[in-house]
A = this chain, B = another copy of it.
Amino acid sequence: MARLSARTGDLHASPVREMLNVSLRPGAISFAGGLPSPETFAGLDLPPPPRDLLQYGPTEGEPPLCERIAAELRDLGVDTTAERVMILAGSQQGIDLAAKLVVDPGATVAVEAPAYLAALQVFRFFGARFSTLDRADPASGWGGDATPRLAYVTPTFQNPTGGCWSAQERAALAQACQAHEVILFEDDPYRDLVYEDCERTPICAGMSGGGSWIYQGSFSKTVAPGLRLGFLTASEDLFPLLVRLKQASDLHTNRLSQWMVLQYLQDPGRAARMEGVRALYRRKRDLFDAALTRHLGNLASWTTPPGGLFFWVALAGGVDPQGLLTRALERGVLFTPGSHFMADGGACPAIRLNFSLAAPGDVERGLAVIGDLLRERATA
């Protein structure tokens, strides 16, 4: 028997990826993953890339792309420079790098409840324990051994809830991290998918006075996920270490994708294209909201998300989401049960529904199935 690392003992398949595989079957209606709508992807009608991009490149990324991203981050109030921006093979990679940097077995990571499931998996793999972050009073319970090393948050259009932190909540976490020397890890992949005005200032913009932080973003939702491109910036103490971890992970990110994304960022049509993306998703969200009301109106409750790709739907009357999923799968409908987003893996009487991918007819049929299953149970 091959001897494997202790951390491998907890190596479960990602529920999201398993769902993705099922969702690719013909006829399935998936509200489970987080796939963007292909209509939103940038085009491929670009000139041929420069041939010198075929050689190995710098670990940090292509300098012109880093410069462009740094300038846009400074416009958001983030204290950074091109020399402190690194291009990632998607923002999932940033989670792996941050976990390598910070998480020893038994180290505490503070997370929201619920929190992004693929981040929970990576932190857990490296041996993290979790504590729950209280948005209203983030440092409550911190002090001594109870102080986490890292606070991982997606404050803008959170996955799974779709919610957005207020300015006060953002300031409170920045101050708590500074006061307790906790590393802030702010994951911000959805910030450009905004459908209603809300506070979106990065939390790390409030940490220019000191403290350690990592901020990351993604082009998966604004250009195309298949390119696998994201970026991070970090405080000066952490950035060089993250570069070395990236170098050990894959040397550097694909240079052709970096070049392509730079073309999209420089494209004069970019703002109009993104306005179109937001309008498309706003329409899809509103259609989904109306269909939810029709089919689940008195069986569940939810807040219409001001941005992002998900509805977080609380089920009334003690329904077990996992049991509901089992019955829904038999009828070809997928969604993600809330417990997958809980750091302790505990019960959570909610489900996450993605509204970006399914066509209107499928939204109608899929939510009707879920509504029927809930009603069958209510009258059983």
Contacts and interface: CB of A to CB of B under 8 A. Distances in A.
B4 A241 contact: yes
Interface string A1-43: 1111111100111100100110000000000010110100110
A17 B181 contact: no
A48 B55 contact: no
Contacts of A149: 2-4
Interface stretch (A76-84, A189-197, A251-259, A330-338): A251-259
A238 interface: yes
B2 A181 contact: yes
Contacts of A256: 226-227, 256-257
A57 to B, nearest CB: 6
Interface stretch (A242-250, A270-278, A293-301, A310-318): A242-250
B35 A44 contact: no
A267 interface: no
Interface stretch (A67-75, A95-103, A135-143, A280-288): A95-103
Given A44-B51, A55-B38, A241 B11 contact: yes
Nearest to A124: B248
A93 interface: yes
Contacts of A54: 38, 41-42, 44, 224-227
A100 B7 contact: yes
Given A8-B241, A101-B5, A92 B225 contact: no
A58 B92 CA distance: 15
A118 interface: yes
B244 A13 contact: yes
Given A35-B55, A245-B11, A251 B4 contact: no
A167 interface: no
Contact of A249 (B2, B12, B55, B249): B249
A254 B247 CA distance: 17
A124 to B, nearest CB: 10
Query: Chain A, interface size: which category?
Result: 35 or more
B44 A118 contact: no
Contacts of A250: 89-90, 92-93, 96, 228, 250
B251 A59 contact: no
A104 interface: yes
Contact of A92 (B5, B100, B248): B248
A293 to B, nearest CB: 29
Nearest to A252: B228
Given A5-B102, A6-B104, A254 B227 contact: yes
A376 interface: no
A226 B56 CA distance: 5
Contact of A103 (B5, B107, B238, B257): B5
A95 B62 CA distance: 24
A238 B183 contact: no
Nearest to A40: B54
B5 A238 contact: no
A161 interface: no
A161 B247 CA distance: 23
A49 interface: yes
7 contacts: A2-B102, A17-B59, A35-B56, A227-B254, A227-B255, A228-B252, A257-B257
Given A20-B56, A38-B54, A227-B254, 8 more contacts: A3-B102, A3-B183, A8-B101, A36-B55, A38-B51, A41-B55, A44-B49, A100-B125
